[in-house]
Structure 1
């Protein structure tokens, strides 16, 4: 009987996620960086209050269900998103075996900076406060980008971050940074905890103990990500004064989680 209830809940959550994704109309764009153009997908609510850049440098062009759920959730709360590949398909296909691009955090971090700078000039996004999100290996590239340019964004989110080579740069996390860990990985948790200790008052760690598999976990992550960015990405004063910002939707239910903050 319990299993039947869990299946019903999972179906309802899947339906809610699908409805949110159908409600957005993504547009494919090209982001210039150096001599190449990076593929990206942008979603713009009717009256966006902020912008979140979601970056990934592994396997460009591949479908990432979690990122789509997160983008749909952010869109539902009035936050625009740009999901950007940090490598071109040619770079990925040619260098994947050697891993030279995948682990070239200097290259990937410079591209994060380039993309953020470009979005700050684009008419549709330049007035929006910017947040950045990355996961797994790409989290290290994001930490490097923040270390190189602390004003690259106003807030960041790292999901299941691999930070084992980011230690010297963790004190550079001087912008509000949320670390979300969903895996039973002692090494990941250790380095995430180190990040919180390295940036007291700026970084916060939340560990999820989800009772069911995705998509409920993904929707719960979306809830936390949206709340974090809503809290730290303040809309431009002119937009607030005009009364043009409307944030629809209600918060999502989320599984049990543990929060660690210094």
Structure 2
């Protein structure tokens, strides 16, 4: 049984919305950083989040941009702004009674993957694990990639062309525990039968492993 709460997160001079869902005795909490042109309503991220909750991990799917900001295409690639919003969300969950003691993980898709890695670099050991789905981790700065300590999993579609090479570039710069998994037959959006389920299964196993107290 999960509890679902629409939340409003202060972020500088704006407020962004999110959906916080916590299973009973949650083993941790994963914050989702969506990709360009997406939002907390992303069907793909919601599918992954549902599998995480079935595995006992809480989820926070949030809008990194307000609707007005998202109309400006360049904002979707403003990694600094996306990172700041993710940091604001971490600060918010750290003062909520229901989430303040939960181990934290970050899940990033597309440009959100770069924001997740920048946030992990900034927060050090406070972030226990990072997963990227069809992400652009190469958009994180080299300095940030070198500073990430959280175990990081990069999931890429086998038919996602140049994105595989971009993930490899970022993977080579990471000094943390890491893995890069190619999902056979998947294109960038993992729309092919069974590919998104494979992503969700890999992500859930990674988070359960690294958010547990023993980790």
Question: TM-score, normalization: structure 2?
Answer: 0.87
Tell me the C-alpha RMSD between the 2 structures. 2.4
Q: Helix, strand or coil: the match of 2:9?
A: strand
Cα 1:75–1:85 shift into 2, 3 Å: same
Q: 1:179 aligns with which of 124, 147, 154?
A: 154
1:179 touches 1:206 (CA, 8 Å); kept in 2?
yes
Matched, 1:129 2:107: no
Q: CA–CA distance in 2 between the matches of 1:195 and 1:60?
A: 23
String of CA shifts for 1:207-229, please: whole Å, max 9, x gaps.
01048954522222111111000
| 8 A Cα contact 1:136 1:159, kept in partner | yes
Separation in structure 2 between the aligned mates of residue 59 and residue 213 of structure 1, nearest angstrom:
17
1:41 paired residue number: 19
Contact 2:118 2:141 in 1 (8 A): no
Greater Rg, structure 1 or structure 2? 1
Q: Which runs of 5+ in 1 are unaligned?
A: 1-22, 237-262
Task: Summarize deviations over 1:97-150 as a string: whole Å, max 9, x none.
Answer: xx1x21211111111111112111110101110000011112122222223332
Q: Please, which moves more after superposition, 197-206 or 208-217? A: 208-217
Higher-strand-fraction structure: 2
Corresponding position of 2:48: 70
| Corresponding pairs, count | 211
Report the TM-score, using the length of structure 1 for normalisation.
0.73
Gaps of 5+ in 2: none
Write the distance in 1 (CA, Å) between the matches of 2:33 and 2:169. 23
